[in-house]
Amino acid sequence: MININITEKKHTDVVFIDNVSQISETCAELSGKKVAVLAPESQSKNAAALINALKNGGAAAYLYKLPDGEECKTIENALKLSAFLDENMFGRSDMILNLGGGTVCDLGGFVASIYKRGILYYNIPTTLLCAVDACIGGKTAVDCNGKKNHWGTFYQPEKVCIIGDIIKSLPDELIDAGKSEIVKYAVIDEDFYEYLSELPIKNFTTELTTIIQKCLRIKGRFVELDERDRGARHALNAGHTIAHAIEAQSDFSIDHATAVMLGLITETNIAYKSGFIGQNRFERLTKLYRKYFGDYAELSLDEIENLVPFMQSDKKNQNGKICFVLPCEHSVKSVMIDDIKSILI
């Protein structure tokens, strides 16, 4: 027998800097490299400043503009980006730098993972949602055959830079869009629950950098345990079985933040009604939801039942049972459920 032991040492460095101009010191290793900066139209100003800073630091920086929105996450755009890298003679020691939200990081990470069998990539998140979730963990993807994230790889970013000035200038709607994922981490992690429940709501915006650090530490623990999402990492999908079904049913006209909010609320009700959590934990979670989500209307039993067909295609399901990641007393746990209605009535 021939035994080939393959181990690849992988890590992602997450660095926190104040502004784009500090990139040349923080990423001095980019000097002498070609760097393709991927950025959506809405990030043109930050992209120009970033290109300038990279050039000052001795890198050869190239701007690759994308339209805003999930629609750009296609295999056609992956091929176009790959052609751009070829035209500019990017080699295996050159790299991609994603400046954007989850869409840009997913697409750029996907191309980085396949171009010449893999080149390095960095992420600079420009949305709160991306800063607390997609910027680490290495899930890369394009949408395909009408399915979200249908083609993808696990391929870790070499570095993630959280830039204070970008985070501080986020508009209110992008801050709101990150809240549900942040609250999700409080369902998973008791210490973070305590932190969020004690944080005065008026300080939420000023504390964003600390919040991002805490969320990335929690996510990082699960990614270290289970990079390929075969078990432990499923915890990060708390609230998401319902959320993904809501998004699919609405043909993605309901945004991810609203869907995750409704997912967390509904899945907490399921956990309570099935005896998975007691009254105390139920009330503590509900109190946090009211604090961060304000007044909300819960889904009716009919609305939940209508979501069932959309839950049936979830990758985590087994033997016809739907996989939920429900709150348990101190964190969350995967549970297979075959008849949601009997639990809720």
Closest CA to 82 of 112, 58, 38: 112
What mask, x for binding ligand GLY by CB under 6 A, covers residues 23 to 62? ----------------------------------------
Tell me whether residue 94 or residue 133 sits nearer to ligand GLY (CB atom): 133
Cα–Cα distance for residue pair 133/261, rounded to 1 Å: 15
Cα–Cα distance for residue pair 238/328, rounded to 1 Å: 11
Binding ligand GLY (rule: CB under 6 A), the pick from 109, 137, 239, 263 is 137
| CB atoms near residue 85 (< 10 Å) | 23
Tell me whether residue 73 or residue 139 sits nearer to ligand GLY (CB atom): 139
Cα–Cα distance for residue pair 217/124, rounded to 1 Å: 17
Nearest approach, Cβ of 65 to ligand GLY (angstroms)? 26
Positions in 206-235 near ligand GLY (CB under 6 A): 229, 233
- Binding-residue total with ligand GLY (CB under 6 A): 6
Cα–Cα distance for residue pair 332/329, rounded to 1 Å: 8
Nearest approach, Cβ of 181 to ligand GLY (angstroms)? 8
Cα–Cα distance for residue pair 182/288, rounded to 1 Å: 11
Nearest approach, Cβ of 221 to ligand GLY (angstroms)? 12
Q: Does position 176 bind ligand GLY by CB under 6 A? A: no
Instruction: Give the binding range for ligand GLY (CB under 6 A) out of 86-94, 116-124, 133-141, 245-253.
Output: 133-141
Nearest approach, Cβ of 108 to ligand GLY (angstroms)? 16
Grouping H, G, I as helix, E, B as strand and the rest as coil, residue 69 is coil
Q: Does position 128 bind ligand GLY by CB under 6 A? A: no
Grouping H, G, I as helix, E, B as strand and the rest as coil, residue 115 is helix
Cα–Cα distance for residue pair 53/21, rounded to 1 Å: 5
Tokens of 41: 């139209």
Nearest approach, Cβ of 11 to ligand GLY (angstroms)? 17
For the chain, count helices (H), then strands (E). 14, 10
Binding ligand GLY (rule: CB under 6 A), the pick from 124, 129, 236, 260 is 236
Q: Does position 189 bind ligand GLY by CB under 6 A? A: no
Q: Does position 133 bind ligand GLY by CB under 6 A? A: yes
Binding ligand GLY (rule: CB under 6 A), the pick from 33, 34, 139, 159 is 139
Cα–Cα distance for residue pair 39/226, rounded to 1 Å: 30
Nearest approach, Cβ of 223 to ligand GLY (angstroms)? 7
> Could you tell me which residues come within 8 angstroms of residue 36 by beta carbon, excluding any fewer than 6 positions away?
62, 64, 81, 84, 85, 88, 90, 94, 95, 96, 97
Footprint of ligand GLY (CB under 6 A): 133, 137, 139, 229, 233, 236
